[in-house]
Amino acid sequence: MKKLTVIFLCLLLASTALGCGKKNGIRATYAGNINTYCEMKDGTWSCNDRSYEYRLERRGRLPNAGCDSVFVYLSNLPDISFEQAAKASGLSSDTADYFAAEDAVLVELQTE
């Protein structure tokens, strides 16, 4: 009986210790029209197994457009201009205008 109690206590302590070491959980999942992404409980964002610090929405009107465009990026860059967002969304033929995957990823593109 004493051995059983000791084993039970050891298992209880082990499960408690493992529970405290859990990875950051997901607060919410969003089905963007380009990529599905998650808001994490610590306030960061995740997409395609990468972590990003910011979720940036950039609104503006492209030349000769009839309505505004909204680009939503997850980013490790604190600021992305509307012009950068538009070019990196696929509108530029210059590869230098695109973001590296560790810097930013486009998750939603909308018009208003």
72 vs 3: which has the higher pLDDT: 72
Whether residue 56 has pLDDT greater than 80 = yes
User: Cβ–Cβ contacts within 10 Å for residue 102, how many?
Assistant: 10
Average pLDDT over residues 43-68: 96
Q: Per the domain annotation, does 53 fall within a domain? A: yes
Q: Per the domain annotation, does 11 fall within a domain? A: no
Q: Per the domain annotation, does 61 fall within a domain? A: yes
What domain range includes position 32? 23-111
Q: Per the domain annotation, does 68 fall within a domain? A: yes
Q: Per the domain annotation, does 6 fall within a domain? A: no
Whether residue 17 has pLDDT greater than 90 = no
Measured distance CA(37)–CA(51) in Å, rounded: 10
Whether residue 40 has pLDDT greater than 60 = yes
Mean of per-residue pLDDT scores for the chain:
85
Whether residue 42 has pLDDT greater than 60 = yes
How many distinct structural domains can be found in the chain?
1
Percent of the chain with pLDDT over 70: 79
Average pLDDT over residues 81-97: 96
Q: For residue 93, which amino acid is it?
A: S
Average pLDDT over residues 8-15: 43
Q: Are strands 104-111 and 36-40 parallel, antiparallel or unpaired?
A: unpaired
pTM of model > 0.85: no
Helices (H), 1-112: 2-20, 82-86
